[in-house]
Structure 1
Amino acid sequence: MKVNVGNDLYLKGRIGWKGLSKSEYLDKSQYRIINGYSLKDGYVDWKIAGFISEERYEESPEIKLEINDILISKDGTIGKVGIVRKLELPSTVASGIFVLRNIIEDKLDTEYLFQFLKSSNFKNFINRVKAEGSTINHLYQRDLIRLEIDVPYIKEQKRISKILKDIDDKIEVNNKINQELEALAKTIYDYWFVQFDFPDANGKPYKSSGGKMVYNTELKREIPEGWEVEKINEVIEVKDGTHDSPKYIENGYKLITSKHLKEGGLDFENANSISEVDYININKRSRVDCGDILFSMIGNIGTVYKVEDETMDFAIKNVALYKTSDNPSLKNYIYMSLKGYYMEAYMANVISGSIQKFIGLGSLRKMPLLLNDEIIAAYTNKTKHIFRQKTNLKKQNQKLAALRDWLLPMLMNGQVTVGEAKAQLGMVAEENVKYE
């Protein structure tokens, strides 16, 4: 059976003259709006979705959101797809997003439709539209209504969509566990290195038990007696990525910039590709190795990513590189320091730019780092199991995501059966990542 988006489904977008300017967004209201920034690949990030007035919400009833509506970005990074899993407040979309609603649920499983739109099948459709001459940075409704989807019988759709959703759900569970693990590591870090209640020689909290404190002029606060403060580049090497703008090609090595730097992973899908020659030249200056830390320098400044990827086939631009791979005993401590109190306080004084905010390499190299070898070693030992479990789950998620992306078209094209997919999923789920 074929499903045609224009004839069989509900597809709407915000009328152009009803677009909202940033000045119309509110700090708080009873009405939400999703724009391209809050629409992520696969989901809606409600934490950064906007607020609008009741009048603006009511003026476009055709795009009032319902549970299980599928959202598709049509501007900027076109083809991002998310689904509305929950609605705590009445919500709508900005002008850069389509609302796609399944109105033939007896013939088409909504989850199957969502998974199809995440697959390479949909990406291939967008690429064909581009090849036919449509504007590259915009997906038009006149193009999207032409999309036809071959679907099996509804029972088979549900079987396929269930296994794909099971993978998504497992990835989400792992991400939540990792958030909790990192929160635990941060709690210990703050207790020891911000409040200075690390265990003293008698096992008691140092500062609360009367441990001697001295004023440090660089940090502008008291620190434990005997501790030191040094510029971070005196402890480890700090570099940045290329300053050049290499030519982008269709297939090649990925160039990771600040906008592709995510705490949960690197966004290879939306990163541009460069030639092998450019890749080699960039990496002469700033090669990334497993165990290094990346830090976004422009735009969304301060996103920190600890590199634990098995393959390093990418280069960096507008990203700071902390060579913690050269001193792995400090890796987790520096990682938490870059995400913590001292870095936040330091950045408040050194970030530049009136329109596009950025932080320079010179400033990053001068960041003050609090040092006490004994307490840092104790922190590393106490939290090593936390970070190992985080790494384990992150690697499992990378394998699950790769499996899902491979299975999506294979299941839908009939090249892999549901039974074969379940076997593949079981192998990944049972795999135990080993550490030295």
Structure 2
Amino acid sequence: MATDLRPLRLGDYCRKIGSGATPRGGKDAYLPSGPFSLIRSQNVYNDRFSVSGLAYISQEQANALKAVEVLAGDVLVNITGDSVARVCQVDPSILPARVNQHVAIIRPDNENIDAGFLRYWFVTHETQNSLLALASAGATRPALTKAMLENLEVPRIGIYDQRAIASVLSALDDKIGLNRRMNETLEGIAQAIFRDWFVDFGPVRRRATGEADPVAIMGGLTPDPTRAAELAPSSPAPSAMMACRSAGRPERLIGWPWSIPKAGKPRTTLRKSSMSICRTPNGGPLKLPPF
């Protein structure tokens, strides 16, 4: 018998396809925190579910939206507006949740269509182009209807193959997500060090108050005592700073083209003009540690 290669009509193999509504009262009815999350279009991206801007609703509001309860593994599709056709799976950590009218829930049966595979199929270039074409046909505002979603044709692939494909792609997504979080952490550390050294002049000020512990001099931003001990002596000593001030050009330090803030008047403007060389009391050029 020949293998059946006909695509699957999505609506025939889903337990649910439907969108929600905005709770009565609109945005004013949202809570800063609450027992239920309300998923909106700004939470749905093709590469991830974003918790930024996640709204919350009360038990009473959630009961009114019981028909659009979000379950673990559900595929979420933006169906209106400029973000139409963006797709992801719900982050289970934000459950229990509901969706508003701009987001549709697609819950496949997982016997013929795997939810993870479906999510990755939705974000392929071919599927995205098809969805965008459907959304822009005959409407003043891009929109996908329930019928459009139900009539989508999903490739007929064995369920075990679907799960294998989804597993590999999910592992890659996890790695990408980990790298993104690491970059965000490193960027935050770099910004904190930059501000402490070149805006707040933290090491100089702490040495001026008599601080001797290298880790404390570096503001705790270099927690390794050995590395902190290497860097702390490189920061300008209070006496060198005072010598620069008395030289008449305290704001120009070699390797440090930022204005030294006066008390109560921090300055962060980068000076693009050439720098004058300021000397330490023993005659050597005043240098800052490499950043």
- TM-score range relative to shorter protein: 0.5 to 0.7
Q: Percent same amino acid among aligned pairs? A: 20
Confirm whether residue 100 of structure 1 aligns to residue 118 of structure 2: no
- The size of the alignment, in residue pairs, is 236
2:17–2:105: 8 Å Cα contact kept in structure 1?
A: yes
2:174 to 147, 169, 175: 169
2:68 to 63, 68, 86: 63
1:33–1:51: 8 Å Cα contact kept in structure 2?
A: yes
- Note the C-alpha offset of 1:227: 2.1
1:203 aligned partner: 233
User: Between Structure 1 and Structure 2, which shows a larger proportion of strand residues?
Assistant: 1
Q: Name the Cα RMSD after superposition.
A: 3.8
1:386 aligned partner: none
Q: Match of 1:227, as an amino acid?
A: E
- Note the C-alpha offset of 1:74: 0.9
1:30–1:89: 8 Å Cα contact kept in structure 2?
A: no
1:312 aligned partner: none
Give 5+ residue unaligned stretches, structure 1: 215-224, 229-328, 335-345, 347-366, 383-436
1:29 aligned partner: 34
1:252-305 per-position Cα deviation (integer Å, ceiling 9, x unaligned): xxxxxxxxxxxxxxxxxxxxxxxxxxxxxxxxxxxxxxxxxxxxxxxxxxxxxx
Determine the C-alpha separation between the residues in 1 that align with 2:93 and 2:25.
21
Determine the C-alpha separation between the residues in 2 that align with 1:179 and 1:39.
20
1:196–1:207: 8 Å Cα contact kept in structure 2?
A: no
Q: Match of 1:87, as an amino acid?
A: S
SS of alignment partner, residue 143 of structure 1? helix
The higher radius of gyration belongs to 2
SS of alignment partner, residue 369 of structure 1? coil
- Note the C-alpha offset of 1:166: 2.7
SS of alignment partner, residue 28 of structure 1? coil
- Note the C-alpha offset of 1:194: 3.4
Confirm whether residue 226 of structure 1 aligns to residue 232 of structure 2: no
In structure 2, relative to structure 1, the CA distance for the partners of 1:141 and 1:196 (3 Å cut) is: same
2:156 aligned partner: 151
Q: Spell out the pairing of 1:218-297 with structure 2 (5 A cutoff).
A: 226-227=250-251
2:234–2:288: 8 Å Cα contact kept in structure 1?
A: no
Give 5+ residue unaligned stretches, structure 2: 1-5, 208-230, 259-265, 279-286
2:74–2:89: 8 Å Cα contact kept in structure 1?
A: yes
Q: Spell out the pairing of 1:309-388 with structure 2 (5 A cutoff).
A: 369-371=269-271, 378=288, 381-382=290-291
Confirm whether residue 6 of structure 1 aligns to residue 30 of structure 2: no
Confirm whether residue 74 of structure 1 aligns to residue 79 of structure 2: yes
1:240 aligned partner: none
Q: Match of 1:195, as an amino acid?
A: D
1:106-159 per-position Cα deviation (integer Å, ceiling 9, x unaligned): 222221111001112322322442475355421111221111211311122122
1:405-425 per-position Cα deviation (integer Å, ceiling 9, x unaligned): xxxxxxxxxxxxxxxxxxxxx
Determine the C-alpha separation between the residues in 2 that align with 1:158 and 1:195.
53
Determine the C-alpha separation between the residues in 1 that align with 2:240 and 2:56.
48
SS of alignment partner, residue 41 of structure 2? coil
TM-score, normalising length from structure 1? Answer: 0.47
- Note the C-alpha offset of 1:49: 0.4
1:286 aligned partner: none
1:325-360 per-position Cα deviation (integer Å, ceiling 9, x unaligned): xxxx99xx99xxxxxxxxxxx9xxxxxxxxxxxxxx
In structure 2, relative to structure 1, the CA distance for the partners of 1:89 and 1:209 (3 Å cut) is: farther
Q: Spell out the pairing of 1:176-215 with structure 2 (5 A cutoff).
A: 176-198=181-203, 203=233, 212=242
In structure 2, relative to structure 1, the CA distance for the partners of 1:154 and 1:197 (3 Å cut) is: same
